Amino acid sequence: MKNITVLAVDDIEANRISLQYLIDEYIDNVELLLASSGEDALKITYTNDVDIIILDIQMPRQDGISYLKEVMKSRPTPVVICSSVAVEGSKDAVEALFLGATEVIHKPRMDVEEFFQESRAVIVNAIKSAYSAKKNVKNLKSLVIEKKENPDVILPCCKRKVSLATEKIIAIGASTGGVQAIEEVLKTFSPKTPGTVIVQHMPSGFTSSFANRLNSICDIQVKEACDGDEISVGFAYVAPGDKHLLIHRNEEKYYIEIKDGPKVSRHKPSVDVMFRSVANEAGRNAVGVILTGMGDDGAIGMKELRDSGAKTIAQDEKTSVVFGMPKEAIALGGIDFITPLEEIGKKILEVIK
């Protein structure tokens, strides 16, 4: 019996064959389905229980971006982009991530077979991570999922005594579908809104483009977070795609620390790490928000935030692209309010007072 169903979508037969060989060689218990266009892939998606999609972008009849839009509307699924046009920071790659792709891998136009062999660890780990995020897998025979670390490997749970006079702070975590959700929330903020820290699961090289896009459409200032940034009113800080974001307090001011280290809850940046640091440093002066996403990153941190006196909000199931992270946080007892996406901005501003 197959444990994982992978759909590979690529218009070049040699690429599909190379990918099939790679998966057969390095991952057991996989059923690999193949499609040469987005149109063919849609038919397969609607008639099979697909766990992960590996998707090219440039294809005939229906391109990868159009297909991705359809999938995320009807059957949200972890998608790994593997394409020659998916260069770091490129328009196509950024759009794919905005639509909900979990990872982007740049595939060269030449020597593709060699590329698949050289990049096998990246591709195999992307498949495993996407599957573990969707299924919340702990033990699966013949499939070694990377060890799931908790926030202790980055910082201890050690809450500081805080005064109500300390500045307020907002912390937002999200994954699949979160790009659009974060955009909708931040567009409700004014320049008088307390400083906001954000973790969106996104590969390295793309968080800067994400922050710049938000900055261009929001009334607040949005930037990719840098080590030592003072968290200011009317600003939002997006964690870099390959580092953890923590906060520290000095008197009544908060400052950002960007820290390397292992993945936590299978992610870097990790929502759990950010939430724990906010619980430690801000406590009841914080509002924690967990939005749509696969897996359970953020559940531990939300419980710690609520225990520290912070107010906590989860996006509801109806408006979530994937009701994974909010659901796990609710199940752990870390949520005060379960709120539709369109009302979350208003709820944040209401409870921050």
Q: What pLDDT, on the 0 to 100 scale, is given for residue 321? A: 80
Q: List pLDDT tens digits, range 256-275.
A: 999 999 999 888 999 999 99
The catalytic position among 92, 272, 297, 316 is 297
Residue 309 has a CB neighbour count (10 Å cut-off) of 14
Domain ranges of the chain: 4-135, 151-351
- In this predicted structure, the answer to whether residue 133 has a pLDDT above a threshold of 80 is no
What is the tally of helices (H) and strands (E) in the chain? 12, 14
The answer to whether residue 144 scores a pLDDT higher than 70 is: no
CATH number for region 151-351: 3.40.50.180
Whether 27 has a pLDDT exceeding 80, the answer reads no
For 23, 58, 138, 314, 319, the CA distances from 283, given in Å and listed in that order, are: 46, 48, 31, 18, 28
Same fold, 4-135 and 151-351: yes
**Is pLDDT larger for residue 322 or for residue 214?**
214
- The yes-or-no answer on residue 248 being catalytic is no
Is 84 one of the catalytic residues?
no
pLDDT value for 96: 86
**Which one from 201, 209, 244, 296 is the annotated catalytic residue?**
201
What string of H, E and C letters represents the secondary structure of 142-197?
Answer: CECCCCCCCHHHCCCCCCCCCCCCCCCEEEEEECCCHHHHHHHHHCCCCCCCCCEE
pLDDT score of 228: 97
Reported confidence tier of residue 166, pLDDT bands at 50, 70, 90: confident
Distance between alpha carbon 187 and the CA centroid of its chain, in Å? 19
Does the pLDDT of residue 348 top 80, yes or no? yes
Q: Is the model more confident about 64 or about 287?
A: 287
Distance set, CA 170 to CA 104, 147, 184, 329 (Å): 29, 30, 15, 17
Name the one residue in this structure whose structure tokens are 């579908």.
177
pTM of the model: 0.81
Closest to 102 (Cα-Cα) out of 74, 82, 73, 87: 82
Catalytic residue among 18, 90, 175, 209: 175
Residue 7, pLDDT > 60, answer yes
Percent of the chain's residues with pLDDT above 90:
53
Q: Which residues pair with 289 in a beta bridge?
A: 172, 313
Q: How does pLDDT run across 277-323, given as a tens digit for each residue?
A: 999 999 999 999 999 987 899 999 999 999 999 999 999 999 988 88
CATH number 3.40.50.2300 is the correct assignment for the domain at 4-135:
yes
pLDDT of 1 above 50: no
Measure the CA–CA gap between 94 and 44, rounded to whole angstroms.
26
Q: Which structure tokens are listed for 207?
A: 């968080």
Question: Model confidence over 178-198: pLDDT tens digits?
Answer: 988 999 999 999 999 999 999
**Least confident interval from 70-79, 133-142, 303-312:** 133-142
Residue 225: pLDDT above 80? yes
Supply the mean pLDDT for the chain: 87
Cα-based distances in Å from 86 to 16, 53, 269? 17, 16, 21
Whole-number Å distance between alpha carbons of 148 and 164: 35
Average pLDDT over residues 187-214: 92
201 as an active site residue: the answer is yes
Q: Looking at per-residue confidence, does 222 or 61 come out higher?
A: 222
Q: According to the model, what pLDDT value does residue 132 have?
A: 62
Please state, in angstroms and rounded to a whole number, the distance separating the CA atoms of residues 4 and 27: 10
Cross-strand bridge partners of residue 286: 169
